[in-house]
Structure 1
Amino acid sequence: MSFRKEPPTVHGSIAHTAVVLVNLGTPDAPTAAAVRRYLKQFLSDPRVVEIPKLLWWFILNCLILPIRSSKSAEKYAAIWTREGSPLKVHTVKQATLLRGYLGERGHALRVVYAMRYGSPSLPTVLDQLKTDGCERILILPAYPQYSATTTASIYDAVFSHYAQVRNVPELRFAKHYHDHDGYIDALKVSVLTHWQQNGRPERLVMSFHGVPKRTLELGDPYHCECYKTARLLATALGLSQDQYVVSFQSRFGKAEWLQPYTASTLRQLAQQGVRRVDVICPGFTSDCLETLEEIAIEAKQDFLHAGGQEFHYIACLNETPEWLHALAEIAEQHMIGWPTIGSAAQRQMQQQQAELTRSESARLGAR
C-alpha cells in the first residue's frame, strides 16, 4: 500500500490545532448536472442507503438520477441566493465567526469548514491542514443528533483518508450535542424571538430529518436523541405536551421511515381546526433545501391547502450569537487538555480578531 506524500519536515516548527466544522454538502450550482454529481456521491454512501450494492447501483443510476436530478435542481433554484447555496453560505459564516468566538476565549487555532459530499471535501481540507502544520484536529459535525447516516459517515471519511497517511495527527470527534445546554438555549431564544415579533401559535411543530425506521430497530440512537432535544426545548419554553408536536420530514422511497411524517402531521392539524402552526427544524443548524424549500414552501402549502390559516417557519440557528457561543463552548469542551491558549502577543491578536468578529456579526445580522 502506498501512502500520501508527507510535506517537508521543518524541525522546531510549532504544532497547530484546528477545528473542522463539517456539514452535509450541497451542489455547486442549481443545475441538473451539478445536482446529479452531488446526489450520486451522496446516495452512493452505504451509510445513507443500506441496500445491496449491485441492486442499488442499478436503481440509482438507471432510475433515480435521470429523473430526480432535474426536479431537485428546480428546488435548489428556488432557494439559491446571490452568494450561492444557503447551506454553504451559512456554514462558511459559522466557521469564520466560530474562529473569532474561540479567539475571544483565548484559543489560538485554525477553524475551517468541510463538506461530507461536494466541495470543499474532507480529504482536501485535511490535506491542507497537514500542510499547515496542524497536529491536533477536532472534527465538529454540524449535526446535533447522532445518526449513522450522517455523523458516522463523517467518521468513515476521516478514517478512510488517514488510512492513506503515514503521520496521522491527534484526532478528536464531537459525536453529538443534542442535549447541550447552550444548544437548547439557542433554540429557545430563536423561538421566543420569533414569538415576540409574530405572536404565538396554537402548535409548535418540531420537524427533524427522517431516516428509515429500520435504523432505529437496528440500534441507531437518532430517534431517541431527536425526542430528547424536543423535550428539553419544550421544557425550556414552558410548553405542555398538547402545545407541541414532533415529526420527521424528507421521506425517500417506499420503505417506512420514522413517524409521524411532517407533511401528514400538518394536514391533520389543519383538519382538526388548528389555525396557526409554527415549524422549527432543530436538527438543522444551517438553513438549506430541506428547511427553505421542503418546509417553508412545500409544508406551508400542505397546511394551508388542508384548511390551516397561518403558517410560520422559524429559521435555523445559522449565525445567531447564542448559537455561536454554544458552538464555541462545545468545541472548547472537546479540546480540553490541548495547548491552544496562546502567548500574550497571540492573545492580543485574538482580541483584535474578536473585535472584527463582533463587527462581522453585526454586519451579517443587518442583512
Structure 2
Amino acid sequence: MTNASIRPGDGRLAHAPADHPAVKPARIGVLFANLGTPDATDYWSMRRYLNEFLSDKRVIDIPNWKWQPLLQLIILSKRPFTSGANYRLIWNNEANESPLMTITRQQVAKLRAAAEANWGEAVQVEFCMRYGNPSTRSVVERMVADGCEKILFFPLYPHYAGATSATANDAFFKALMRIKRQPAARVVAEYFDRPSYIDALAQSVERAYAGLAARPDVLVASYHGMPQRYLTEGDPYHCQCQKTSRLLRERLGWAAGSIDTSFQSVFGREEWLKPYTVKHVAALAREGKKNIAVISPAFAADCIETLEEINGEILHAFEAAGGESFTYIPCLNDDAAHIAALMEVVTENLTGWLG
C-alpha cells in the first residue's frame, strides 16, 4: 500500500467504499529498546520488575523447578526492599522515574529530531523496555496501529549477549506473533567496534581527563558481567568487550596496560567473568595505584549499575583498600557524538527501505 492510494484529508482508500475504516499513511518505524526500569521504588513495584527480570530464561537459565521456588519464596521476599533502597539513592524525584528512563527519553528525543530532519514524517521513532514499561509489546502494537509497515528494532547494547540483545529480540518477535498483519522487520546487530562509537567513547575520556588535576594511574573499563559458562557456550560478549577496550586504547594513543578490563554486577554463586571490578579496583589501590578512573562502555545510558553500583560499592571498595582519587566517567547518554553514532547505525540499516 502506498500513500498515493489514500485520499488526502480523511485517510480512506481512494478505491474503497465509504464505510471502509480509515487507513494510516504507511510509515517506517525505528524502535529502540533498553533493559528496563521499575515504575517506582516501593516493594510491589520492585517485586513486579524483579520478577519479570529474574524469570527470564535468558538471564537465569536454571530449570524452573529449581529456580522459581527460590525466586518467589526467598529472593522476591527480600530483594525488593534492598533494590528499592538502592534505586531511591539515584531516583529522579522531579520526574518520578529512574535515571535510565530519563536518559532514554532524552536520547530518543534527539534521535527523533535527527530522523525528522533527515526523513520528515516518513520515519517514526519510539522506545520500549525489555522489562517494565513501556513494554515492547505495547509499543510495537501502537506503532503498527500508527501505520508502521516496516520496523527496525534497535537493542541499545553495543555488545551482543544472550541476556541483553537476544532477550530484547525475543520480546520483539513475541510481540510480532500477536499481530495479524505483521510489519516487515529488521534487527540491528551489535556495534561494539564501530569507529564512531569508539570515537564517542574516546571523546568522553578526553573530556573527563582534561578536567582533572592529575592524570589517573589507570582507566578501568568496567563491563556488566555474566557467568563464565556462557563464554564457553558460545556467547561472544567477553571477546567483544576485550576488543572495545583495545580499540579505545588505540584510539586514545595510549600504551598497552593503560586500560584494564573488568566485570561487575556478579549475581549468585556461579563463577562469572573475571576480574570482578569490585575486587580489581581494591587490588589496584593496594598495588599503589591510588588515582583511577572508571568507564562503562557496555551501557548506552547511566543506570543503577553505574550510578549506584560503581559510585557506591565499587568506589567504597577502592577507598577501603587505600585508594584516594576515583573518577567515574559517565556513559555516553545523549552526548552529540553518541547520537550521531546511533543515527549512523540506523541510516545503514534502513538502506533499501527509504527512497
TM-score, length-scaled by structure 2? 0.91
Match of 2:111 in 1: 98
Matches within 5 A, 1:309-348: 309-339=324-354
Question: For residues 278-314 of structure 1, what are the alpha-carbon distances to aligned partners after superposition, in whole Å with 9 as ceiling and x for unaligned?
Answer: 0000000100000000001221111011001100000
Summarize the alignment of residues 57-68 of structure 1 with structure 2, pairs less than 5 Å apart. 57-68=68-79
Alignment of 1:27 with 2:41, yes or no, is no
Query: After superposition, where does 1:1-367 map in structure 2 within 5 Å?
Result: 10-11=12-13, 13-81=24-92, 82-83=94-95, 84-106=97-119, 108-198=122-212, 199-339=214-354
Shift of residue 139 of structure 1? 0.5
Give the deviation of 1:269 after TM superposition. 0.1
% identical aligned pairs: 42
Greater RCO between the two (CA within 8 Å, min separation 6)? Answer: 1
Contact 2:37/2:132 (<8 A) preserved: yes
Q: Provide, for residues 183-224 of structure 1, a one-character-per-residue CA deviation record: whole Å limited to 9, x for no partner.
A: 111101111000111142100000000011111010001111
Deviation of residue 227 (structure 1)? 0.8
SS at match of 1:246: strand
> For residues 161 and 47 of structure 1, what CA distance do their matches in structure 2 show?
17
Residue identity opposite 1:299 in structure 2: I
Residues 236-276 of structure 1, C-alpha deviations (whole Å, 9 max, x = no match): 11122221100000000000001110001001000000010
Report Cα offsets for 1:32-86 as digits up to 9, x if no partner.
2211110000010101101001111111101111111100110000011122200
Aligned residue identity for 1:323: H
Q: Which moved more, 1:57-66 or 1:251-260?
A: 57-66
Runs of 4+ in 1 over 6 A off after TM superposition: none
> Which runs of 5 or more residues in structure 2 are unaligned?
1-10, 15-23
Q: 2:153, 2:187 within 8 Å by CA — same for their partners in 1?
A: yes
Checking the alignment, whether the CA contact within 8 Å between 2:115 and 2:125 is kept in structure 1 is no
Rounded Cα–Cα distance in structure 2 between residues aligned with 1:41 and 1:235 = 40
User: 1:232, 1:117 → 2: CA distance?
Assistant: 31
AA aligned opposite 2:103: H
Q: How many residues align?
A: 332
Deviation at 1:329, TM superposition (A): 0.6
CA RMSD of aligned residues (A): 1.3
8 Å Cα contact 2:155/2:169 also seen in 1? no
TM-score calculated relative to the size of structure 1? 0.88
- Partners in 1 of 2:117 and 2:191 — Cα distance? 22
CA distance, structure 2, for counterparts of residue 221 and residue 74 of structure 1 = 34
Letter in 1 for 2:34: N
Q: Secondary structure at the match of 2:328?
A: strand
Deviation at 1:104, TM superposition (A): 2.9
Tell me how far apart the structure 2 counterparts of residues 10 and 87 of structure 1 sit (CA, whole Å). Answer: 40
